């Protein structure tokens, strides 16, 4: 009966790992599975029975042996259940002895030994930075590449800058917050932020007051409990058990700091419930979609072993006094913000990636022996406003830019300088990777053989794109080799190109049998954005190959979860003009665009349309969204991407309000000037408050002022950065043909403003000044 229960508790995806760890060959396991009509529960039971009767000597401790095997393949909670349960008879019917160490608390020496093992784990894996975001072998020491990130703490309805060194000085009612949520867009540096915490703990700097720091990448541990995860980090010779680790955390919550990285990378809702029964209907555990395990099963497993489910920590149902940090993309944080109880538990911090100073530091670290190369790239990011505002904040994009800047020729660098959208930089990056790989075999650029080889690579990557979409829809971000068993050549090619990664996790500590057997190594995309891009490629391909499936996915899956699949939509519409028009029509129809549409809805539509870079899509949005009563409000929280989208589309807006503090960034300045002056000919009234633009804003105003239709203009607390800006501002005001009402409160105006105003006063139309 225990073997049957064990077989029922093990997910089908672990079938091969269990069988191989027990000494069965892959062929034997497939034969057993076929004999049991591919019923994994029956097949696992058959494996356990054969192993128990035939494989074990009469004197063996069957329970301990099986527990050890399960722990080796990350099924630690089940192994603890075995050790704490009734004796399993061995082949002669004699009882097995319970391991006494399971009931003992950790000694101080063993607590310290666990900390040493955790630190070794982080030094050897987490605390390394890739100089090539797609190549696992390109890692360097953490201190050689780490660059500070720009952090902001939510304070009421405002945000204020937070220095990383002050993070442990955060206070909520006089105490360090027990739950912290770190929000950041894709590629903003959330995982690196967690690595920085681990590094500082290792180095005895920040976080050194904690005995243990546990960093948990949720994409790898969706169905595990905190004790299992910590146990998996320990050296194989460390005798600490899952139960002992869990009990230590329970008894010493103030000595343990837990960081969960990537909440958006797991499925299921996080909702507070009072019992395990209510969990089965109200709360889904953090776990992959396949194989599906119900919340009640996960709850039962946790209670039986005494371990703690991750979802209970996130909701503070368990370890309420243990400090816990969680990273996520913004869309996933909405669930916490919309739940009154969870909202009160968490302190919210935003990681914004690099500011200009940090960007420069990172690039110089990337080119440590070539200041000229570094300075040229820094100058390029400053000159190319789109990249400066839309991409240079995000470490992952900066790493990609550095890699291409290092290796591309002049012609390709010119193409790089014309990029405007996220989709474009990924498209260029994927092409770069394919060509870089292909030229190792076919040296001659542009030759027929190279073109043919690139075509072959494209064909091989097709199944990878399909798997990327399947995984994304199921929130599966880490795959097994079996997931690619029908296309092993595709997986191998994708790994060689750099679109997939497969890190070798077989270590010297594994025994000879384990190293020689078929061990499932994890396969994954280097970053979720790469999976989303490849998923977009496959989704777009369905538009031609299976229109019904394409429509089903867009209408029933992607658009109902549009915030979660924002980047998937970006990458899909960028593939093809017809696809972009079709998807945008679906979005507009679904959102019932009318006068009651919220600006949040319009912002989303504008972002998707901008990624398409198609004038017809822009015209479609302009036609369907426009209304005589649209008022556009741009504040400091609106991204440069969205502002660029508004400039690209030119919506029928009659009143514009812009408030906040934008720095001297080129894209924001140019796009806002474009919006005010000519891209929105319907605009009659504009109000700008508390803004600091660069000279390009005022220069564009002056150059295109005569095209403006604005009648009422308010500039309040605006800063003119240079004498030339003062000249351009006066010239713009005098050249606007419809301007009749003006409020002007500008800082830093110089003599050039008044002299220009005097010289052009005869042309000014203002009645109320």
Q: What is the mean pLDDT of each run of 10 residues along the chain (769 residues)?
A: 85 86 86 86 89 62 78 72 54 39 75 95 85 66 84 83 87 87 86 92 90 90 84 91 91 94 78 41 39 33 62 89 91 83 88 86 90 89 70 80 83 79 87 84 79 92 94 84 86 86 48 42 79 95 95 93 92 94 90 65 91 92 71 76 83 80 52 69 84 81 87 88 90 90 89 91 76
C-alpha of 404 from chain center: 22
Return the DSSP state at 188.
S
Q: To which H or E segment does residue 701 belong?
A: helix 695-704
Domain 2-103, CATH: 1.10.533.10
C-alpha of 270 from chain center: 18
Alpha-carbon distances, residue 613 vs 393, 422, 603, 649 (angstroms) = 22, 11, 16, 10
Distance of alpha carbon 574 from alpha carbon 540, whole angstroms:
9
CB 621 within 8 A of CB 650: no
Distance of alpha carbon 342 from alpha carbon 331, whole angstroms:
15
Fold classification of 626-763 (topology level): 3.80.10
**In terms of pTM, does the model score above 0.85?**
no
The two three-digit tokens of residue 115, written as one number: 């900390």
Q: Please, which residues have CB within 8 angstroms of residue 688's CB and are 6 or more apart in sequence?
A: 658, 659, 714, 715, 716, 718
Q: Specify the residue for token string 């980090």.
A: 233
Architecture of the domain defined by 108-351: 3-Layer(aba) Sandwich (3.40)
Q: Please, which residues have CB within 8 angstroms of residue 487's CB and are 6 or more apart in sequence?
A: 460, 463, 464
Angle subtended at Cα 384 by Cα 378 and Cα 390, rounded to the nearest 5 degrees: 95
Distance of alpha carbon 62 from alpha carbon 451, whole angstroms:
59
Return the DSSP state at 88.
P
CB 173 within 8 A of CB 380: no
CB 176 within 8 A of CB 323: yes
Burial pattern 64-75, b for ≥16 Cβ within 10 A else e, equals bbbbebbbbbbb
The three-state secondary structure class of 446 is: coil
Beta strands in 603-676 (DSSP E): 631-634, 655-659
CB 433 within 8 A of CB 499: yes
Q: Work out whether strand 151-155 and strand 631-634 pair parallel, antiparallel, or are unpaired.
A: unpaired
Q: To which H or E segment does residue 641 belong?
A: helix 640-649
What pLDDT is attached to residue 134? 56
Q: To which H or E segment does residue 116 belong?
A: helix 108-121
Q: To which H or E segment does residue 437 belong?
A: helix 422-438
The two three-digit tokens of residue 654, written as one number: 């009659």
Give the bridge partners for 509, in sequence order: none
β-sheet with 158-162: strand ranges across: 158-162, 151-155, 346-351, 179-183, 324-328, 256-261, 212-217
Q: What are phi and psi of 21, to 5 degrees?
A: -65, -25
Distance of alpha carbon 211 from alpha carbon 191, whole angstroms:
22
What counts of helices (H) and strands (E) characterise the chain?
36, 16
CB 90 within 8 A of CB 51: no
The three-state secondary structure class of 628 is: coil
Q: Please, which residues have CB within 8 angstroms of residue 514's CB and are 6 or more apart in sequence?
A: 21, 72, 506
Q: Specify the residue for token string 């010239």.
A: 731
The gap between the terminal CA atoms of the chain, to the nearest Å, is 89
Distance of alpha carbon 284 from alpha carbon 270, whole angstroms:
7
Q: What are phi and psi of 211, to 5 degrees?
A: -70, -45
What pLDDT is attached to residue 102? 42
Which among 58, 82, 59 is positioned nearest to 70, based on CA atoms?
A: 82
Distance of alpha carbon 169 from alpha carbon 180, whole angstroms:
13
Burial pattern 521-543, b for ≥16 Cβ within 10 A else e, equals eebbbbbbbbbbbbbbbbbbbbb
Distance of alpha carbon 314 from alpha carbon 271, whole angstroms:
10
Angle subtended at Cα 721 by Cα 720 and Cα 724, rounded to the nearest 5 degrees: 85
Say how many residues make up the chain.
Answer: 769
Alpha-carbon distances, residue 501 vs 263, 354, 494, 504, 758 (angstroms) = 21, 26, 8, 10, 66
CB 681 within 8 A of CB 711: no
Give the bridge partners for 160, in sequence order: 153
The three-state secondary structure class of 659 is: strand
> Where do the CATH 3.40.50.300 domains begin and end in the chain?
108-351
Q: Within the chain, what is the greatest distance between any pair of CA atoms?
A: 110
Distance of alpha carbon 320 from alpha carbon 343, whole angstroms:
14
> Where do the CATH 3.80.10.10 domains begin and end in the chain?
626-763
Q: What are phi and psi of 79, to 5 degrees?
A: -65, -40
What pLDDT is attached to residue 455? 92
Distance of alpha carbon 761 from alpha carbon 747, whole angstroms:
21
Q: What share of the chain is helix, strand, coil (3-state, %, to 5)?
A: 55, 10, 35
Distance of alpha carbon 694 from alpha carbon 598, whole angstroms:
31
> Where do the CATH 1.10.533.10 domains begin and end in the chain?
2-103
CB 187 within 8 A of CB 395: yes
Distance of alpha carbon 262 from alpha carbon 247, whole angstroms:
26
What pLDDT is attached to residue 301? 40
Distance of alpha carbon 689 from alpha carbon 715, whole angstroms:
6
Distance of alpha carbon 292 from alpha carbon 268, whole angstroms:
11
Q: Specify the residue for token string 């006063």.
A: 761
Q: State the Cα torsion 335-341-347-349 to the nearest 10°.
A: 10
């Amino acid at each position: 009966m225990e073997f049957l229960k064990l077989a029922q508790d093990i997910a089908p995806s672990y079938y091969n790992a269990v069988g191989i760890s027990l000494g069965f060959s892959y062929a034997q396991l497939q034969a057993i599975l076929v004999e049991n009509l591919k019923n994994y529960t029956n097949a696992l039971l058959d494996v356990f029975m054969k192993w128990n009767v035939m494989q074990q000597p009469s004197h063996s401790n069957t329970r301990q042996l099986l527990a050890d095997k399960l722990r080796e393949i990350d099924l630690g909670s089940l192994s603890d259940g075995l050790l704490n349960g009734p004796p399993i008879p061995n082949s002669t019917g004699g009882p097995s002895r319970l391991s006494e160490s399971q009931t003992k608390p950790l000694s101080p020496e063993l607590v310290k030994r666990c900390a040493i093992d955790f630190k070794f784990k982080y030094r050897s894996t987490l605390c390394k930075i890739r100089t090539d975001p797609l190549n696992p072998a390109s890692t360097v020491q953490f201190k050689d590449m780490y660059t500070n990130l720009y952090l902001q703490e939510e304070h009421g309805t405002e945000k204020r800058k937070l220095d990383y060194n002050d993070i442990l000085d955060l206070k909520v009612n006089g105490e360090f917050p027990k739950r912290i949520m770190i929000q950041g867009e894709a590629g903003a540096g959330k995982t690196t932020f967690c690595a920085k915490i681990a590094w500082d703990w290792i180095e005895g700097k920040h976080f050194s007051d904690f005995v243990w720091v546990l960093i948990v990448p949720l994409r790898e541990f969706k169905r595990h409990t905190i004790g299992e995860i910590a146990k998996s980090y320990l050296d194989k010779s460390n005798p600490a058990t899952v139960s002992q680790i869990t009990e230590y955390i329970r008894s010493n919550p103030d000595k343990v700091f837990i960081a969960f990285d990537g909440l958006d990378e797991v499925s299921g809702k996080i909702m507070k419930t009072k019992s395990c029964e209510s969990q089965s209907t109200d709360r889904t555990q953090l776990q992959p979609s396949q194989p599906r395990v119900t919340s009640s099963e996960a709850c039962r497993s946790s209670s039986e072993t005494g371990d703690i489910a991750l979802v209970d920590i996130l909701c503070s149902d368990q370890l309420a006094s243990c400090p816990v940090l969680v990273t996520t993309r913004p869309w996933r944080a909405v669930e916490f913000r919309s739940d009154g109880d969870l909202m009160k538990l968490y302190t919210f911090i935003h990681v914004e990636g690099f500011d200009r100073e940090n960007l420069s530091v990172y690039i110089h670290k990337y080119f440590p022996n070539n200041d000229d190369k570094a300075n040229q790239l820094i100058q390029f990011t400053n000159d190319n406003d789109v990249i400066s505002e839309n991409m240079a904040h995000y470490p992952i994009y900066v790493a990609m830019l550095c890699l291409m800047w290092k290796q591309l020729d002049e012609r390709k660098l010119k193409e790089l300088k014309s990029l405007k959208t996220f989709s474009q930089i990924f498209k260029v990056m994927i092409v770069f990777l394919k060509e870089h790989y292909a030229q190792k075999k076919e040296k001659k650029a542009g030759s027929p053989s190279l073109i043919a080889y690139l075509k072959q690579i494209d064909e091989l990557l097709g199944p990878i794109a399909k798997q990327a979409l399947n995984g994304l829809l199921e929130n599966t971000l880490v795959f097994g080799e079996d997931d690619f068993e029908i296309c092993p050549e595709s997986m191998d090619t994708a790994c060689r190109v750099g679109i997939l990664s497969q890190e070798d996790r077989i270590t010297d500590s594994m025994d000879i049998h384990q190293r020689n057997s078929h061990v499932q190594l994890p396969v994954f995309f280097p970053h979720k954005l790469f999976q989303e891009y490849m998923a977009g490629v496959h989704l777009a391909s369905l538009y031609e190959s299976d229109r019904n499936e394409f429509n089903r996915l867009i209408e029933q899956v992607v658009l109902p979860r549009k915030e979660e699949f924002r980047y998937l939509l970006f990458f899909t519409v960028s593939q093809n003009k017809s696809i972009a028009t079709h998807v945008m029509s679906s979005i507009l129809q679904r959102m019932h665009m009318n006068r009651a549409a919220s600006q949040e809805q319009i912002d989303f539509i504008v972002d998707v349309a901008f990624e398409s870079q198609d004038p017809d899509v822009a015209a479609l949005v302009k036609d369907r969204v426009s209304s005589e009563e649209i008022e556009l409000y741009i504040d400091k929280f609106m991204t440069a991407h969205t502002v660029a989208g508004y400039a690209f589309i030119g919506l029928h807006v009659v009143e514009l309000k812009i408030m906040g503090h934008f720095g001297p960034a080129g894209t924001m300045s140019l796009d806002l000037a474009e919006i005010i002056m000519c891209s929105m000919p319907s605009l009659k009234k504009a109000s700008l408050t508390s803004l600091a633009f660069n000279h390009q804003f005022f220069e564009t105003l002056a150059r295109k002022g005569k095209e403006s239709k604005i009648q009422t203009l308010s500039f309040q607390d605006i800063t003119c950065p240079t004498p030339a800006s003062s000249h351009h501002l006066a010239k713009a005001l005098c050249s606007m043909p419809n301007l009749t009402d003006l409020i002007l409160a500008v800082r830093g105006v110089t003599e050039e403003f008044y002299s220009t105003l005097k010289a052009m006063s005869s042309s000014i139309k203002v009645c109320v000044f």
